[in-house]
């Protein structure tokens, strides 16, 4: 019976087999009791003997979402597995789901998965046929349905050619297919082509604390770091590219823009595209490319101030100062004019200036755009359009703080790029949950950490039988009405 395939064993024998294995695998050890301060005259004692209880009961909602969107399945199809099929117990899709769901649930380190592999509900989420793990080939693995930290680490140590360069690097990732998947997911989320979309570009810093490949010092951030490039359209993440810090913030962004626009135009040939970013992206090559496109691609970039620009608004700054002295409130005056740099720009371009005076003094700001005056008046263009790009920074914070995109700590740059992809796909999954399941609730604009805390972190007891998996959620869960809404 022990040598026979699991599928050929009867249900009665399976139950007996599982009980025997469970007892043989679980060494008898004295459970520790934790005595807390007394409640009046009553003792308060804690012990880890509650049985199969999970703190992540809400993940079943993610499973339903994945069954509909298939985004993780499509992501797994961007990988090529060169492992010997005879020895594979964890498929690439299962490994990827385990890693990304772990990130979503707040388990940022691979070492966390040595405990998570015992959670049968996570095994259900990943798609394991036997959530108990009793069908594992090796005796020491039985009872642990999921992969441990070492197996997941070999997934992250990706290779471009596993046949040649690595005994342990046998899973390859196709970056171009992953990039395409992110854009296609955005496109398919729309039932019809929009008339206009705004692509927000920005960079951030991922601190480096070791001797990772591509390590450079960045003066602005005051340390060794990477400079990942992000491109969002609203809440949709379209690009996450890890880059070295020894280059301009806009380096390589035009190539990413061209690829994105080309992919978007395949589905939406007439859509108007507007690029929006801070002054780091106000580069002649990007603006020239936009101006040369036959189908509209506009730009709206911040423009770094200099003495010539400030001189252009001398009167407006004096007027703003006079208004502030009268009202003791921030005064702003906007001016529209054309401007060309001495040598870095090839043509004159429209510039909008904000002559502002605050309690701390003069605060001039400038933007450069290809949008016409007839379409956008200066004040509205700056306040109602350009300033909205600040919301993208919140999305980047979600990536870095809530989904650990800054944990680019492996030795190789390409492995760190894969970690950035994992974080990005985790964001896409949670954004889908927010966009679809939480629509018309008070969590419709909640950040990822709030969604995790209020919707996914639900205490539940899990009972497994041959025909059913019972998940008993805690009766004191305070957001049952929202859970019901998402479930529906």
Say which residue, 167 or 270, is predicted with more confidence.
270
8 A C-beta contact, residue 115 and residue 85: no
Report pLDDT for 26. 46
**In whole angstroms, how large is the CA radius of gyration of the chain?**
27
Determine the average pLDDT of the residues in 320-345: 94
The Cα–Cα gap between 26 and 142 comes to 11
Split at pLDDT 50, 70, 90, the class of 1 is: very low
* 376-421 pLDDT, tens digit each: 999 999 999 999 999 999 999 999 999 999 999 999 999 999 999 9
Say which residue, 159 or 144, is predicted with more confidence.
144
Kind and range of the H or E run holding 229: strand 229-233
Residue 184 tokens, joined: 């296609």
Determine the average pLDDT of the residues in 193-217: 94
The Cα–Cα gap between 216 and 226 comes to 8
The whole model's pTM is what?
0.90
* 63-116 pLDDT, tens digit each: 999 999 999 999 999 999 888 888 899 999 999 999 999 999 999 999 999 989
The Cα–Cα gap between 451 and 48 comes to 27
CA distances from 225 to 156, 213, 394 (A): 20, 11, 20
The Cα–Cα gap between 90 and 332 comes to 61
Determine the average pLDDT of the residues in 314-328: 95
Report pLDDT for 11. 57
Determine the average pLDDT of the residues in 7-34: 56
8 A C-beta contact, residue 33 and residue 45: yes
* 55-65 pLDDT, tens digit each: 999 999 999 99
CA distances from 430 to 122, 175, 420 (A): 17, 22, 15
Report pLDDT for 166. 61
């Amino acid at each position: 019976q022990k040598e026979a395939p699991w599928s050929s064993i009867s249900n009665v024998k399976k139950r007996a087999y599982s009980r025997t294995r469970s007892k043989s695998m679980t060494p008898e050890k004295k459970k520790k009791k934790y005595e807390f301060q007394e409640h009046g005259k009553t003792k308060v004692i804690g012990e880890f003997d509650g049985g199969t209880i999970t703190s992540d009961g809400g993940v079943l909602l993610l499973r339903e979402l994945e069954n509909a969107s298939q985004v993780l399945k499509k992501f797994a199809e961007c990988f090529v597995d060169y492992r010997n099929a005879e020895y594979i117990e964890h498929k690439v899709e299962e490994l990827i789901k385990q890693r990304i769901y772990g990130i979503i649930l707040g388990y940022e380190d691979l070492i966390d998965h040595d405990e998570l592999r015992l959670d049968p509900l996570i095994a259900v989420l990943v798609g394991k046929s036997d959530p108990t793990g009793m069908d594992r080939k090796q005796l020491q693995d039985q009872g642990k349905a999921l992969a441990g930290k070492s197996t997941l680490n070999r997934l992250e140590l990706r290779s471009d050619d596993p046949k040649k360069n690595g005994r342990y690097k046998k899973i390859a990732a196709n970056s171009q297919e992953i990039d395409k998947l992110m854009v296609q997911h955005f496109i398919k989320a729309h039932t019809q082509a929009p008339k206009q979309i705004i692509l927000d570009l920005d960079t951030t810093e991922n601190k480096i604390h070791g001797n990772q490949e591509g390590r450079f010092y960045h003066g602005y951030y005051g340390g060794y770091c990477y400079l990942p490039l992000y491109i969002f359209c609203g809440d949709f993440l379209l690009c996450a590219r890890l880059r070295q810090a020894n280059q301009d913030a806009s380096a390589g962004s035009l190539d990413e823009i061209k690829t994105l626009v080309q992919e978007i135009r395949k589905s939406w040939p007439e859509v108007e595209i507007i690029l929006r970013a801070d002054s780091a992206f106000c580069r002649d090559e990007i603006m020239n490319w936009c101006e040369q496109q036959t189908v509209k691609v506009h730009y709206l970039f911040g423009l770094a101030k200099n003495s010539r620009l400030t001189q252009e608004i001398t009167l407006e700054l004096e007027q703003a100062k006079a208004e502030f002295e009268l009202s003791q409130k921030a005064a702003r005056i906007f001016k529209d004019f054309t401007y060309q740099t001495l040598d870095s720009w090839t043509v004159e371009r429209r510039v909008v200036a904000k002559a502002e005076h605050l309690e701390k003094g003069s605060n001039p700001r400038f933007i450069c755009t290809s949008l016409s005056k007839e379409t956008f008046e200066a004040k509205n263009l700056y306040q109602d359009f350009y300033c909205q790009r600040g919301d993208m920074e919140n999305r980047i914070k979600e990536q870095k703080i809530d989904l650990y995109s800054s944990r680019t700590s492996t030795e190789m740059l390409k492995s760190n790029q894969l970690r950035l992809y994992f974080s990005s796909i985790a964001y896409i999954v949670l954004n889908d949950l927010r966009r679809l399941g939480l629509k018309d609730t008070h969590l419709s604009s909640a950040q990822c950490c709030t969604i995790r805390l209020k919707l996914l972190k639900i205490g539940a007891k899990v009972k497994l039988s041959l025909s059913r998996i019972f998940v008993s959620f805690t009766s004191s869960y305070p957001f049952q009405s929202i859970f019901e809404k998402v479930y529906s």
